[in-house]
Amino acid sequence: MRAVRVALESTVISHGLPRPANLVSARACEAAVRESGAEPATIAIVDGSVRIGLADHELESLAGRTAVAKVSLQNLASVCGSGGWGATTVAATAHLAARAGIRVFATGGIGGVHRNAETSFDVSADLTALGTTPIVTVCSGAKSILDLPRTLEVLETLGVPILGWRTDAFPGFYTRSTGLGVTAAVVTAEDVARIAAAHWDLGGRTAVLVVVPCPEPAAIASGEIDSIVDEALAEAAVQGVRGPALTPFLLGRIAERSGGRALAANLSLLENNARIAGSIAVAIAERLQER
């Protein structure tokens, strides 16, 4: 039997992590998926073509390149038409993965409603994609560069179930809990497979979001980097950074200023999420075979 695939995003490689940690992380995520018995498919645009799975030399090339567009739903077609390279966000990765028949996707953190969205209207297309794409998306929540309560409100409006992996609390990426809630807690990959099957059997057309707290040793205490996040937000405002550039700008500033703590947490949770996504993909495949 062909191994069941797990999609991995590439914006984190090109725009979310510094070199050379980005390549180390991309390879570690692929290895973690394999260790769970599934096949990784890192999704990206190579010379204008959508690629569902990259060869290792392509992964290396992507990680080393500077001219790589950040590809979301809006510019997917135009980047393909331009013949260039593109790194796919959660939105574009989920969309392309589901079209390719992949049921599970692993990432670090999702985009969401930005702070001050009431004036900027900046709401990530990740939420649009999660609301329209049937794929299990494993992440560590979203980080406090965003307005997390509003992000959860939009996910509720869209009807996206949020399953807390061994937790009742929505994680805040670096921090294991935000004090916000989830739809239900789950303990095993089979729990996720059963709930996702029920969601889709009952006519649900959205993603099922699985939120996994950052592993304990690398996680950062709540409040510990709030001032760094606030400084990054203030700096973005002063410099007028907006639109698709905003998220990479904020992530870069936080990574620089946290003395390596943010980076270590990011790498740890990415690999952990990939491993759990692999086990969920295997559980879903086993359920389908039993029927």
Choose, by CB under 5 A, the member of 122, 126, 147, 271 that binds Mn ion: 122
Strand blocks (E) in 23-166: 39-46, 49-52, 68-71, 85-88, 104-106, 136-139, 162-165
Residue window 74-113: x/- pattern of binding to Mn ion, with contact defined by CB under 5 A: ----------------------------------------
* CB-nearer residue toward ligand PSU: 5 or 15: 15
Residue window 138-177: x/- pattern of binding to ligand PSU, with contact defined by CB under 6 A: -----x-----------------------------x----
* CB-nearer residue toward ligand PSU: 12 or 210: 12
List residues with catalytic annotation: 9, 143
Is 191 a binder of ligand PSU (CB under 6 A)?
no
Beta-bridge partners for 40:
6
Q: Phi first, then psi: what are they for 127, rounded to 5°?
A: -70, -40
Residue window 35-74: x/- pattern of binding to ligand PSU, with contact defined by CB under 6 A: -------------------------------------x--
Choose, by CB under 6 A, the member of 29, 90, 154, 281 that binds ligand PSU: 90
Give me the half-sphere count of Cα atoms (radius 13 Å) on the Cβ side of residue 75: 17
**Residue 8 touches which member of Mn ion, ligand PSU, none, C-beta under 5-8 Å by kind:** none
Is 128 a binder of ligand PSU (CB under 6 A)?
no
Residues 6+ apart with CB under 8 A from 124: 72, 89, 90, 91, 110, 111, 112, 113, 114, 247
Judged by CB under 6 A, the number of residues near ligand PSU is 19
DSSP 245: G
Query: Per-residue b/e over 20-47, b at no fewer than 16 CB within 10 Å?
Result: ebbbebbbbbbebbbebebbbbbbbbbe
Q: How far apart are CA 137 and CA 98, in angstroms?
A: 11
For the CB of residue 235, give the shortest distance to ligand PSU in the complex, in Å: 17
Residues 6+ apart with CB under 8 A from 272: 32, 212, 214, 215
Report the interface residues with ligand PSU, using CB under 6 A: 9, 11-12, 16, 72, 89-91, 108-109, 111, 124-126, 143, 173, 244, 247, 251
